[in-house]
Structure 1
Amino acid sequence: MEEEIKAEFEKSGFTLDDEQEVLQKCLTFCIQYKRSPSDLVSSWEVFSLNRQLELTVKNAYMDAFLLHLQDEQKEAIIKKESGLHFYSNDLDMILSDDHEDTKEGILGTPADRSDTLCPEPLDSIHKINGDSFSSGKPPETVTPFGQRKSKFVVQSTLNDLPNTENIKKEEDNGNSEDYVIMRVQPSARCSLVIHGSQLEPGCRFMYDKIEDKFNFLENRIRKHATALVASGLCEEVKDPTVASQESIFAVGMICCDEEGRLKEKPVLLQSSVEHSEGQRVRLDLQKLGQFSIFPGQVVGVEGYNPSGHCLIASKLIDCVPMSVPVPSDEDLHPTKKQAIDQEFQLTDPSMLGELSMIIAAGPFTTIDNLFFEPLAELLAYARRKQPQLLLLLGPFIDSEHPEIKKGTVNRTFDEIFRTEILERLQDYVEYMGSAARVILVPSVRDANHDFVFPQPAFDIQQTDLKHKITCLSNPGIFSANEIKIGCCTVDILKQLSGEEISRNPLGGSKQRMSRLANHLLSQRSFYPLYPPMEGTPLDFSLAPEALQISHVPDILILSSDLAHFVKVLSVGDKNEGEEQTKCVCVNPGRLSRGEGAGFFVELNYHQNPDSTVASVISI
């Protein structure tokens, strides 16, 4: 049949560039749209005349030609069924089904869907029967992202490897006529409960006072001191600045003596006002075989201070035992929980502790355009996999994007957010039906949102979306099917990486990513670094309750520019005979990187972290 297609092109006066690729795609188009070679070439003639192309059939035009064939198919369907309305993504899915299933699958990855999901530009809205649907790029535009060859490749896995038999079975199912109906059957809707007080959109911020900063830091030190005494690790907390020949136990915050990065010499320890009137003392770490410290970290130190000027540490405790809860503001005021859609709360006990989710962090478009192609591909993948929860972390409208920084866009940031993000998500939730659940978490890099941390949730005005799309504050903690999940979009991992100093014994663990993430759990804070990194708009008047991690979550999601990973963290000290608490920590990476594709995470939680299955996937 490929020879017939080639003959038809030559008969019409066309020559083929990159012949093998072009003929292979044309053969796929013939099978997908039930076209004969002569019909396909006729469509190409119309396509090339409309765009005034030369008489060479190039591989670069195949994506645009596919859209042309889709438009012809749409017109035929609408003409046949007058008054019938399709949502754009639904129609793309139906039209692309056979094409998807004839593609050669990659081990552990879904079938190639990029050819069918090319978004249009911001100033182009196509319509069917007067109804507008999702925007996209002009068919002539071929972007570096659209030309990538490796799509949906599994980069790393947790507890499981891709199963080839399942993939083949899924592809076989795709050949049946009932496949479209089968895959849109709604899965069970997960329950959703938001923990803690959500900051109100438009709340007053950046009016914090020196008193707020003092109270924030003082309370952190006092709470850790109370918890360490309650754990039995020490009998009494003493003043580390007083000269003494006896060994003492002190609790304080790690401080840097000079501007710039923390160095082992000198390191200072600032104790609480209660014990030392807030004075600092030099901390000598020479006798410690291993440690990992950073500015702002609250630690317990056992040692002695013979001169009154230097505390010589013999033991350093950087983690409060998990069996001892750290006193929090929530203990004074019971934790506020907001149940979302009470009528959909969990009723089936078998779903407890079970959750399927897809996690992706922005930017959601490449730096060379605002077509949001990575987001379109992600939503296509999610429609195919049908997770119970789709968690999207900002930035959505990235203030660091070249076009946003230069101010060359002809729409407001809110209009771009509504058109390119919310309308695509609306198509997704309508396709998924009643089982859909989407959570949006903002970033301080979002151009259309408040530049403050902690950060209030997005304020979505459309009432029809609030039922299925939930906006969460940054950072935020929520429970889905009674699985506790914490997430934060400030790149605290990268910031800690630049400030931390550590010493490991020979043969000791060198898993740096796990150690950095563990700092947040051991300090019970989403942002334990102090002073905050330049560019982080930390507001201490909002911080005390919003930044606390009162209990170790089952899943901790930290979006970062550092290497993507999914790891099971163990929180607690084995040497002290303490029972360790486990947590799945996820850095999904960025969905787009420069002009190319990035990563996202597909995760299935089963009762506990050790049974959780997860994959980091390159889009």
Structure 2
Amino acid sequence: MSTEAFREEIAKYFSEAVAADDALVKECMNMCRMYNKTVQDLCYQWQALSYNTTNIISIFTLKSVPDLKARLQQELGRANASRQEPAGKLGGLTKASNARSLDVPLNVGPVRSNIVKSEVSDVAGPSKVVFQGPRTDDQSQRSRAYRYMYEKVLERSEALDERIDEFADLIQKHYQIDDLGDPDAATEEPITVVGRIVLDAEASTSGAKLNESSLVLESSRMMGSGVRVPIRLSPETKIRGGLKGLGGIGLFPGAIVALRGRNGGGGFFLVDEILALPPVKAPSPPLNDASTAFSMCIACGPFTPDADLEFKPWMSLLTNLKSTKPAVLLVLGPFIDTTNSRIKDGEIDVTPEELFKRVFTDQLQEFLIQSPGSTVLLIPSVNDIISDHAVFPQCELGVEFGGDPRIRLLPNPCRFSVNGVSFGATSVDVLFHLRKEEFFRRAPEVNPVIPESEPATDAMSNLARNILQQRSFYPIFPVPLELAHEVNLDVTHSEALKLVQSEDECVPDVLVIPSRLKQFSKVVDTSTVINPSFLSKGTYAVLSYAGLGSVLAKDRITTEIFRLS
């Protein structure tokens, strides 16, 4: 339909005044295109919205557009939810959806638990990918948008104990141990204990880093009455069951460990062996199909230097995207950063929401007009001023920040998949926190696991391996005091921090963990780990997946770190 014919439709169903407003006509055209509506449908939607909120049918103006978009988005979400069908588990996603033609519209789906469902969204233009993500039903969204600052001490302690007890079950099964012991009980025979590494009281109050003399093991109430016992590592302490060639193990506050040794009554537990944690199940092979190939651009905020709000790096990236047209754009916050000096000093003449719409929503819609088959994924940060949920784990941004059904709003952290390739992503700088807290203990290996290829043993790979082995997007506890403002950890809801939700779920094929540490892309065990760093530093990552290849996805993935020109 031509612009003039569309204007006549607007005049017929809305009014001549609306048809005379070029900006309003443009907005109506965008909504009709994005949500597959006729002008008549759009008018009926506005009349219903206006009457339900004010009991009268108001004049349609530019100020009415955001409310109408939000209504259309909610209606689309409800329609999609009614068509949801089971599609397998996230870790080992069933491949029925992957075998479908990629000419169908975008498949959306849930990931809050390990069970994922898919749904078809009516979008303008066919999507290049089949996407499965967090559940979008009302109950799942409400559970992610939980009330914070209402934690009770008992609930926190139960959540901490539950994590120890879950690992205790895994370790018993893996090493075929009949009974686990209490580290505080004096014994003559060696016993196996499971607990959490903590700093001793003196070191924690002085701000000292974890070291061999300050190691303390905290047991759960079920296995050791929750007591804390100092542990001693000797030169003869060995590591059992780890990957051959690692040469040691990373310890940090919050790490769950299994130790074999004895408490001779001297007030400490003497460690003979450190038992490596059971490995997470390897990813299932994706469908071997050339049509499942896709490209993904990954960028993380801040998107502008601290001294301004001009967002030049972001605009430069968008220019590149309009020419390369990746199938997926993964963007992690902070979008409007609370730590930006201009924001902190109040040197801004628009609301943060208006700034986000102008800089991100409008620009992304322009990108999607030029690349209609692309999908955009947005993950917030606890430093985002536009988010009213400034805790970790964090719910997705409000529906008003989407603006297009091809712009997907995801929680922080989250698991999702694209064409059968599973991803895990968070905007929290967990690598930097681990680097600051980790104590790497070298020790001889006993009965090591022989990997298919030589494992990466550099510092960054070891930090990423801690995340994978501890099965958590943020395995540190407590958060380092000087970095607490970057996380705002809600322990009671740490269930949402799990990298895998069950023993049967697989480790992600790709783990995206942006950090202020130097950018990199590495294969760690069976996962590709990407740190694109921050766009304000001029770097971002581009991932290419070849549908054809060897068994695992990591062998079909190539990743490059680019620098803005």
> What is the alpha-carbon distance in structure 1 between the residues aligned to residue 418 and residue 326 of structure 2?
12
1:367 is displaced (CA, Å) by 2.6
**Which residue is equivalent to 2:431?**
493
Matches within 5 A, 1:570-585: 570=525, 582-585=526-529
Q: Secondary structure at the match of 1:288?
A: strand
Change (3 A) 1:199 1:362: farther
**Is the CA contact (8 Å cut-off) linking 2:296 and 2:326 kept in structure 1?**
yes
Provide the rounded CA distance (Å) in 2 between the counterparts of 1:386 and 1:226: 47
1:263 Cα deviation (Å)?
Answer: 2.1
* Alpha-carbon distance, 1:218 to partner: 0.4
1:263-302 to structure 2, matched below 5 A, reads 263-286=211-234, 287-288=236-237, 290-302=248-260
What stretches of structure 2 of length at least 5 have no aligned partner?
1-22, 28-61, 63-124, 239-247, 446-454, 547-551
Aligned: 1:599 with 2:539: yes
CA distance in structure 2 between the partners assigned to 1:194 and 1:366 by the alignment? 31
Unaligned stretches of 5+ in structure 1?
Answer: 1-82, 88-129, 131-185, 326-347, 571-581
Deviation readout 1:505-540 (Å, 9 max, x if unpaired): 699975111111111110111111001232221112
Q: Which residue is equivalent to 1:566? A: 521
**Higher alpha-carbon deviation: 499-508 or 226-235:** 499-508
Tell me the equivalent position of 1:608.
553
Other structure's SS at 1:229 match = helix
Contact 1:262/1:499 (8 A) holds in 2:
yes
Alignment of 1:20-59 (within 5 A): none
In structure 2, relative to structure 1, the CA distance for the partners of 1:439 and 1:268 (3 Å cut) is same
State how 1:536-555 maps to structure 2 within 5 Å. 536-550=487-501, 551-555=506-510
Quick one: which amino acid aligns to residue 314 of structure 1? D
Corresponding position: 1:504 with 2:448: no
3-state DSSP of counterpart to 2:400: coil
Partner residue of 2:327?
388
The code of the aligned residue for 1:515 comes to N
- Superposed CA offset, 1:24-70 (max 9, x none): xxxxxxxxxxxxxxxxxxxxxxxxxxxxxxxxxxxxxxxxxxxxxxx
Distance 1:352 1:200 in 2: 36
1:366 aligns with 2:305: yes
* C-alpha distance in structure 2 between counterparts of 1:600 and 1:460, whole Å: 26
Q: How does 1:204-219 map to 2 (within 5 A)?
A: 204-219=147-162
Determine if the alignment matches structure 1 residue 413 to structure 2 residue 352. yes
Aligned to 1:345: none
Indicate how the Cα distance of structure 1 residues 417 and 509 shifts in structure 2: closer, same or farther if over 3 A, else same.
closer
Aligned CA distance change for structure 1 residues 203 and 223 (closer, same or farther; 3 Å): closer
- Per-residue deviation at 1:194? 1.1
Equivalent residue number for residue 4 of structure 1 = none
Q: C-alpha displacement at 1:610, in angstroms?
A: 2.4
| Corresponding residue of 2:378 | 440
SS at match of 2:465: helix
How far 1:225 sits from its partner (Å)?
0.5
Judged with a 3 Å threshold, the aligned counterparts in structure 2 of structure 1 residues 470 and 549 are, in CA distance, closer, same or farther, namely same
- The verdict on how the C-alpha distance between 1:241 and 1:505 changes in structure 2, with shifts beyond 3 A counting, is closer
Question: C-alpha separation between the residues in 2 aligned to 1:379 and 1:200?
Answer: 34
Q: SS where residue 508 of structure 2 aligns?
A: coil
Supply the distance in 2 between the matched residues of 1:585 and 1:496 (Cα, whole angstroms). 15
Return closer, same or farther for 1:349/1:268 CA change in 2, 3 Å cut-off: closer
8 Å contact kept, 2:297–2:541: yes
Identity among equivalent positions (%) equals 31
Residue aligning to 1:460: 399
Letter in 2 for 1:304: R
SS in 2 for 1:403: helix
d(CA) in 2 for partners of 1:305, 1:201: 43
The 1:438/1:509 distance shift into structure 2, 3 A limit, reads closer
Contact 2:361-2:401 within 8 A present in 1 as well: no
Counterpart amino acid of residue 237 in structure 2: L
Report SS of the residue matched to 1:422.
helix
In the alignment, the residues of structure 1 paired with residue 521 and residue 315 of structure 2 have an alpha-carbon distance, to the nearest angstrom, of 24
State the AA in 1 paired with 2:227.
Q
1:149-173 CA-partner distances (Å, limit 9, x unpaired): xxxxxxxxxxxxxxxxxxxxxxxxx
Change (3 A) 1:202 1:254: closer
Q: Is the 8 A contact 2:543 2:559 kept in 1?
A: yes
Q: Does the CA-based 8 Å contact 1:201-1:459 persist in structure 2?
A: no
- Which residue is 2:40 aligned to? none
Listed one character per residue, the Cα deviations across residues 308-357 of structure 1 (whole Å, up to 9, x for unaligned) are 521111211242233599xxxxxxxxxxxxxxxxxxxxxx9835763310
What is the RMSD computed on CA atoms of the aligned residues? 2.9
**Higher Cα Rg, which structure:** 1
Give me the TM-score of the superposition, normalised by structure 2: 0.66
C-alpha distance 443-584 of structure 1, shift in aligned 2 (>3 A): same
SS class of match (2:371): helix
In 2 relative to 1, CA 475–610 (structure 1 residues): closer, same or farther, beyond 3 Å? Answer: same
Report the Cα distance in structure 1 between the residues aligned to 2:491 and 2:364, rounded to whole angstroms: 34
Number of equivalences: 401
| Residue range with higher mean Cα deviation, 314-323 or 234-243 | 314-323
Structure 2 counterpart of 1:154: none
Cα deviation per residue 1:274-323 (whole Å; 9 max; x = unaligned)?
11111111111123363320001001101122225211112112422335
